[in-house]
Copies of this chain bind each other. A is one copy, B any other.
Amino acid sequence: MKISARNVLKGKIVSVEKGATTAHVKIEVGPGQVVTSAITNEAVDSLKLTVGGEAYAVVKASDVMIAVD
């Protein structure tokens, strides 16, 4: 499957924390660069996400803001 989302960053899962309904998954996409994702517990189970596994952080371009110092 190819997706229209412009941002697909490959990395390794460094943490999976399930809540009551919402889980937080962290992926290291570069040295010292960790991306945090909030998804459903259901998606964690469906994709069998576990620490150490390879995964992609996917973000639609319209969800990316820019900041400057």
Interface size class of A (residues with CB under 8 A): 35 or more
Name the B residues within 8 Å of A3 (CB-CB).
1, 3, 58, 65-67
Name the B residues within 8 Å of A48 (CB-CB).
68
Any B CB within 8 A of the CB of A51: no
The distance in angstroms between the C-alpha atoms of A30 and B32, with both chains bound, is 11
Expressed in whole angstroms, the minimum distance between the Cβ of A34 and any Cβ of chain B is 9
A62 contact from B33, B53, B57, B62, Cβ within 8 A: B62
Q: Name 11 interchain pairs, CB-CB below 8 A, sorted by A.
A: A2-B67, A20-B20, A20-B21, A20-B22, A35-B59, A37-B64, A47-B67, A56-B66, A57-B66, A59-B59, A59-B64
